[in-house]
Structure 1
Amino acid sequence: MAKEIPDLQAEVRTGTGKGAARQARREGYVPGIVYGGGTDPVPINVDYHALLKRLKHGQFLQTLFNLKVDGHDDVRVICRGVQRDVVKDLPTHLDLMRLKRTSRIKLFIPVEFINHDKALGFRKGGTLVAVRPEVELEVTASDIPEHITVDLTDRDIGDVIHINDIDLPAGAKPTIHRNFVIANIAAPSGLLSEDEEEAEEAEEGVVDEAEAPAEAEEGDEE
């Protein structure tokens, strides 16, 4: 299933230059520019509070948006830069690049774990440790997966799941060129404690034997 692409609302900015940009900021907007795609650049304004909310959500530069501007056809864009105030660290300008449906882009895709009830390790009290709840993939703009799926069937305590163990959607490939870890099944804390106690007891037994005085042999003089 293709990932749902969020909308980004904007309006055309009348006028260009620093004066028009300052006026937009006074009115509660962040000025920006949309370029690429074989058409002329378009100056835009984006609502300051809406943009700030998306920035706080994270991964703004890795998110594909459906840009909606009155009087223009919707277009898919990705942000190529956000300028910020050097003191307040708040957005002052953004650059958006138009994408064709055939464009290849890098995005973070969520990892979904399924069949928890069929995992052997969970029946023994183990827990899932998600090392990478999201994975950066190179995908086609027209076919962005909603998630990648990890099947936990028969996974046992100590099992480690790597990226090469997962069937990725057609056309998608990791941006990291090594077999990195996605998750593992960890032993329950109680089991770890018991193992540690047994190891400590065994170690103490060895020490006690080493320190115990040798018994007198028969016939030794008192």
Structure 2
Amino acid sequence: MVQTIRIEGAAREQAGKGAARATRRAGQVPAVIYGAKQEATLLSLDPRVIIKELQKGGWRSHLYEVVVGDAAPVRTLMREIQFHPVTDQPLHVDFQRLAPGQKIRVLVPAHFLNEADAPGIKEGGTLNVVRREIEVLSDPDQVPDAFEIDVAAGTIGDTFRWSNVKDSFGTEAVLGRDFVVATVAAPTVEEEVVVAAPAPAPAAPAKKGGKK
């Protein structure tokens, strides 16, 4: 199930671009917690904490308990990270505060099981993944780490849909229909191209006569 990760930050008193630049000059990343019909909370974070979460992957599906100073932990989702266009260092982080009983909208990775056993794959076909992540509405305490789809019986032309997910963990797909997640595509046939050798150039006509 979903991980809950604790992040500690320092209070930030002023909003605006100037205050954000000052925070970055101090070696910190400006951030904000918003939502649940409450006033936004401004804070700053150690950039190493954000980079660590990025390296782990799946940060959009994790719950974060954010602690600012002596205040009570705030249950959040990390919604957006802005990056420097050249250095790729984090510039700003947005957290969404969760209200009690609120379902959250998250992207959950799709994992495909037994791909090597699928008859269509053995015949040279490929698993064409349409959605590597599936967006769902979920209870914050029931967000799965991944959805699993068993493709062991997949033959050429088969389609795997949302209904083929082994366990949806009580989530609800945002699209609201039985959408395609992956297909087994036929092998690509490459036509052999025969390049004809160029015809030999015609011989130059013999010169008549000559020196006497």
Structure-1-length-normalised TM-score: 0.65
**In the alignment, which residue of structure 1 is the partner of 2:118?**
119
Matches within 5 A, 1:54-93: 62-69=60-67, 70-79=69-78, 93=92
CA gap 1:177/1:27 in 2 versus in 1, 3 angstroms: same
Report how many residues are paired.
Answer: 190
Alignment-derived partner of residue 147 in structure 2: 148
Deviations 1:160-184 (A, max 9, x none): 1122333442321111133322111
Which residue does the alignment assign to 1:15?
Answer: 13
Partner in structure 2 of residue 43 of structure 1: 42
**Partner Cα separation in structure 2 for residue 176 and residue 110 of structure 1:** 16
SS at match of 2:141: coil
Deviations 1:89-143 (A, max 9, x none): 9765444232146321111111111123542223323221212111111111111
Q: In the aligned structure 2, how far is the partner of 1:125 from the partner of 1:82?
A: 40
Name which of structure 1's ranges 44-53 and 25-34 shifts more when overlaid on structure 2: 44-53
**Match of 2:164?**
165
Among all aligned residue pairs of Structure 1 and Structure 2, give the percentage whose two residues are the same amino acid: 29
In 1, Cα distance between equivalents of 2:129 and 2:88: 32
1:150-201 per-residue CA deviation (whole Å, 9 max, x = no partner) reads 1113211111112233344232111113332211112233xx34xx78xxxx
| CA-to-aligned-CA distance 1:59-90 (integer Å, 9 cap, x gap) | 86x44441342534443212456678899997
Range with bigger deviation, 158-167 or 28-37: 28-37
d(CA) in 2 for partners of 1:86, 1:79: 20
Q: Structure 1 residue 102 and structure 2 residue 101: aligned?
A: yes
Query: What is the aligned partner in structure 1 of residue 32 from structure 2?
Result: 33
CA contact (8 A) 1:130 1:184 kept: yes
Q: Give the SS at the match of 1:142.
A: helix
The runs of 5 or more residues in structure 2 that have no matched partner are: 193-212
Deviates more, 1:180-189 or 1:117-126: 117-126
Q: Any conservation in 1 of the 2:130–2:181 contact (CA below 8 Å)?
A: yes
Q: Superposition pairs for residues 186-205 of structure 1, below 5 Å?
A: 186-189=185-188, 192-193=189-190
Q: 2: distance between equivalents of 1:39 and 1:49?
A: 28
**Structure-1 separation of matches of 2:136 and 2:30:** 30
2:22 is paired with a residue of what secondary structure? helix
* Structure 1 position 135 matched with structure 2 position 134: yes
Mapped to 2, the partners of 1:86 and 1:124 lie a distance apart of 44
Computed over aligned residues only, the root mean square deviation of the Cα atoms, in angstroms, reads 3.6
Are 1:121 and 1:157, in contact at CA under 8 Å, matched by a contact in 2?
Answer: yes
Which structure carries more helix by proportion? 1
Gap runs ≥5 in structure 1: 198-222
Shift of 1:145: 0.7
